[in-house]
Amino acid sequence: MAFTLDKSAAAFSAAKQHIPGGVNSPVRSFRGVGGTPPFIAAAQGSRLHDIDGNQYIDYVGSWGPMILGHAHPAVTEALREAVGRGTSYGAPTLLETELAELVKAAVPSIDLVRFVNSGTEATMSVLRLARAFTGRSKIVKFAGCYHGHHDSLLVKAGSGATTLGIPDSPGVPEGIAATTLTAAYNDIAGLADIFHRHGEDIAAVIIEPVPGNMGLVLPRDGYLQAVRDLTAKYESLLIFDEVMSGFRVAYGGAQAAFGITPDLTCLGKVIGGGLPVGAYGGRRDIMEYIAPAGPVYQAGTLSGNPLAMTAGITTLKAIGVPGYYDRLSEKTAVLCAGVKAQAEKFGFELQHHQIGSMFGLFFTAEPVYDYDSAKRSDVGAFNTYFHAMLAQGVYLAPSQFEAAFMSSAHSDDDIAVTIAASAAAFAKVAD
Ligand code: PLP
């Protein structure tokens, strides 16, 4: 049967009548790659099912959270039970402490953790905390790193902002953007220069230790340690935004994988098991500045929501078992090696990156180590590849500048099918 998206196309037109651009988060609109986004009816394991009856092997995983795959039986069952006990109380629960303990056991740099509802909320709150704790106002971020859509950090952000060509959004006051200094990722000399000029004013450096929002970019040897050393020298705080990499590249996140201890950490995605959760945590003396322990205000009607906590607890217990990450990484390596072999067969020299179950490829023969080098990719070639994969039932993120995610629900057969689809897609790009 020919691949069609007729029902999705109609649904997309209808959605645009009611929702800006027809979507509730920009990159879902396929604006970067063109065409119609499949409207999803259901998801199970490694598969997404759309309203036209197509099914896809899913490497987006809701942009990272679905490490166990969709509708994992343990998570689904736990949620079913939890929902019968009520969906929100606005009062403390044992679940919050249980998830906090699990997070702390996995991420030793965290003494205290505060749960919020999204990654954006986590990074927004952590900046207020860093500024209050240090009494300084400036923040350093890295070009191509995305930390959510609040004003301070929507400056040279990657992700949808790159795809849509809106590096800085209108509506961000100049005064706020001016407190955000931008450095190039993987360039320690550039960061040292910023510290040399502004060191006394810098409250914090916020970094995706393994950036996944300009495509997947890996830190050079020693880079993260050098960032740690510089921040310590100037008594600025180091914030690891592990909303994506946390519980993804390793159970303890990138900080465990690279052995670096940040002062503060932001989490999200996996810790919510597919429900809306974010978190920020870190050193006790800093976190005790947060209300009601301290003076820095941050609150949330639905924060620590019992359903979200339940999904998070069940997910962390399932992925915390010995060998889980080794198996997931090995599976991802098999897929990446297979795709690379197919690319080479068709004469493409591409950049294939992988860490744990995060992976991605850049359509460029030159090494990619920062935002500028990522942007040298051939977006047209990616778009052709993307649509050829989609038509064969493989769902990748609709942008060259996003990472892909493996789940433990992906089977060897899924991987073999994906590699075969890749061969046909590269043939199309070569055409
Ligand atoms: N930080 C990072 C590293 C992210 O990848 C994202 C989202 O993709 C965010 C923060 C924002 O999280 P959310 O979309 O839950 O607000």
Domains and CATH numbers, the chain: 6-71+323-430 (3.90.1150.10), 73-319 (3.40.640.10)
| Closest by CA position to 414, among listed 403, 425, 426, 422 | 422
Catalytic residue of the set 50, 241, 370, 414: 241
Give 293-308 pLDDT, tens digit per residue: 999 999 999 999 999 9
Mean pLDDT to the nearest integer, 259-267: 98
The percentage of residues in the chain with a pLDDT greater than 90, rounded to a whole number, is: 92
Atom of ligand 1 nearest to the CA of 123: 10
Catalytic (active site) residue 16? no
pLDDT of res. 159: 58
Is the CB of 244 inside a 6 Å radius of any atom of ligand 1? yes
Residues 201-228: tens digit of each pLDDT: 999 999 999 999 999 999 999 999 999 9
* 160: pLDDT strictly greater than 80: no
For 159-179, what is the mean pLDDT?
A: 68
Q: How far does the centroid of ligand 1 lie from the alpha carbon of residue 30, in Å?
A: 18
Query: How far apart (Å, rounded) are the C-alpha atoms in residues 308 and 302?
Result: 9
153 band by pLDDT with thresholds 50, 70 and 90: confident
Strand partners, 142: 183
Asked if residue 146 has its Cβ within 6 Å of ligand 1, the reply is yes
CA of 111 relative to ligand 1 center, distance in Å: 22
pLDDT at 309: 98
Ligand 1 atom at minimum distance from 268 CA: 15
Q: Is 58 a catalytic residue?
A: no
**Ligand 1 centroid distance, CA of 413 (Å):** 31
Whether the bond into 209 is cis, omega within 30 of 0: no
Please give the mean pLDDT across all residues of the chain. Answer: 95
Task: Flag whether pLDDT at 192 surpasses 50.
Answer: yes
| Confidence (pLDDT) at 428 | 97
Amino acid residing at 247: F
pTM score, whole prediction: 0.96
CA 237 – CA 128 distance, rounded (Å): 12
Q: Is 211 in the pocket of ligand 1 (CB under 6 A)?
A: no
Indicate if the pLDDT at residue 176 is higher than 90: no
What does the pLDDT look like over 85-114, one tens digit per residue?
A: 999 999 999 999 999 999 999 999 999 999
23-68 pLDDT, tens per residue? 999 999 999 999 999 999 999 999 999 999 999 999 999 999 999 9
**Ligand 1, closest atom to CA 278?**
15
pLDDT at residue 344 tops 50: yes
Q: What is the ipTM of this complex?
A: 0.99
Q: Is the predicted pLDDT of residue 120 greater than 80, yes or no?
A: yes
| Residue among 244, 247, 249, 358 to mutate when testing ligand 1 (max atoms within 8 A of CB) | 244
Provide mean pLDDT across the span 322-349: 97
Task: Please tell me the predicted confidence (pLDDT) of residue 166.
Answer: 45
* pLDDT category of residue 152 using cuts at 50, 70 and 90: confident
Pocket test for ligand 1, best of 269, 280, 405 (most atoms within 8 A of CB): 269
**H helices present in 6-155, as ranges:** 6-16, 73-83, 94-106, 119-134
Any catalytic annotation for residue 324? Answer: no
Q: Is the C-beta atom of 60 inside 6 A of ligand 1?
A: no
Q: Which two tokens stand for residue 270?
A: 């996996």
pLDDT at 245: 98
Tens of pLDDT, residue by residue over 362-380, are: 999 999 999 999 999 999 9
d(CA 376, CA 367): 10
Q: How far is CA 271 from CA 123, 125, 278, 302, 357, in A?
A: 15, 18, 7, 16, 16
- The pLDDT, as a whole number, for residue 208 is 98
